[in-house]
A = this chain, B = another copy of it.
Amino acid sequence: MAIKDLPVEECYIPGCAACPGCPATMALRVVYKALGRNTVKIIPACCTAVIESLHPHTSFDIPTMNIAFEAAAAGASGVEAGFRMQGKTDITVVAWAGDGGTYDIGIQALSGALERNTNFIYICYNNEIYSNTGIQRSGATPYGAWTTTTVTGKTEFRKEMGEIIQAHHIPYAAQTCIAYPEDLFKKLQKAKSIHGPKYVEIMAPCPPGWRFPMEKTVEMGTMAVETGAWALYEVENDKVTFNGRSKLILEGKIERKPIEDWIKYQGRFRHLFKPKKDIKRIKAIEDHIDQMWERYRKCYQ
């Protein structure tokens, strides 16, 4: 699949409230292309609740319901049941949430919806922070990163949401990244074609949140994958397949790039380089990624 093959039709309408260079709208465009108009979206509090723009207008051209921060997946269970009871089983029900709404405050509703087999797609766009509220730590924030609530760098490692999701043994789960629109598109199309709960997580580098220039969103995504900080893979009924670069890394066909290559371009890691390079913490990050790949190799190869 090439970029050219992606549909022209847009359900995202220009002129919204997103920051320039926003990864969320970048992803949303592709998501809408993959899912089509017969889709209903539930979104909890997150940047997207601002992005959609002010009442009485909206920048989204598919029906969208905002719901409380912790309630996206539960709301989706209700929406799905509501449509099903009306015989409208062709509508794709999507919950679209940030990492905060997924890893932290929304994990319970999500875990519940997966367990009770709700037929929906849960999409997490992961910018590794609470960006809507002005950059606080989330469960997805990586070790060492500055946020307004981790002023000297986060002291814990991020949750491995991918593994947590896999432990739920749902029919389809995938990790992708805004820098790979074809990958994103394919994964969502596949998710759409499968019955039951699906989970897709999109790595979404956020310029103001990570402190990089707004034109670099795509590069930051590419580097996340190339350094191995983020892996592209999909899981169908417990069968794991790595994709693209990540597959090559898994198979040892290419080396993953050093993590420094990525984090040094992000203001949120500045304190690891200035005034003095914090070798210990950088190594801790590197080691942690190594361990992750070791696990991947052990179970998924």
Contact (A111, B107) CB under 8 Å given A160-B169, A167-B166, A295-B238: yes
A139 on the interface (CB 8 Å rule)? yes
Contact of A156 among B111, B116, B164 (CB under 8 A): B116
Shortest C-beta distance, A244 to chain B (Å), equals 23
A139: B residues at CB distance < 8 A: 111-112, 115
A111: B residues at CB distance < 8 A: 107, 139, 159, 164
A84 on the interface (CB 8 Å rule)? no
A85 on the interface (CB 8 Å rule)? no
A117 on the interface (CB 8 Å rule)? yes
When each residue 48-64 of chain A gets 1 if its CB lies under 8 Å from chain B and 0 otherwise, what string results? 00000000000000000
A295 to B298, CA, bound (A): 12
Contact residues, A154-172 vs B (CB, 8 A): 155-160, 163-164, 166-169
Contact of A169 among B116, B157, B238, B299 (CB under 8 A): B157
Minimal Cβ-Cβ distance residue in B for A116: B156
Query: How many residues on the A side are at the interface (Cβ–Cβ under 8 A)?
Result: 29
A295 to B167, CA, bound (A): 11
A278 on the interface (CB 8 Å rule)? no
When each residue 197-224 of chain A gets 1 if its CB lies under 8 Å from chain B and 0 otherwise, what string results? 0000000000000000000000000000
Which of A159, A238, A291, A299 gathers the greatest number of chain B CB atoms within 10 Å?
Answer: A159
A67 on the interface (CB 8 Å rule)? no
When each residue 97-112 of chain A gets 1 if its CB lies under 8 Å from chain B and 0 otherwise, what string results? 0000001110110011
Shortest C-beta distance, A152 to chain B (Å), equals 16
A117 to B139, CA, bound (A): 11
Contact of A105 among B103, B108, B157 (CB under 8 A): B108
Contact of A160 among B104, B107, B117, B167 (CB under 8 A): B167
Selected A-B contacts with CB under 8 Å, 28 pairs: A70-B108, A104-B112, A105-B108, A107-B107, A107-B111, A108-B108, A111-B139, A111-B159, A111-B164, A112-B139, A115-B139, A115-B156, A115-B158, A115-B159, A116-B156, A117-B155, A117-B156, A157-B169, A159-B168, A160-B167, A160-B168, A163-B167, A164-B164, A164-B167, A164-B168, A167-B167, A298-B299, A299-B299
A residues touching B (Cβ–Cβ < 8 Å)?
Answer: 70, 103-105, 107-108, 111-112, 115-117, 139, 155-160, 163-164, 166-169, 238, 291, 295, 298-299
What 11 new A-B contacts, CB under 8 Å, besides A70-B108, A166-B167?
A105-B108, A107-B111, A111-B159, A115-B139, A115-B158, A116-B156, A159-B167, A160-B167, A160-B169, A163-B166, A238-B291
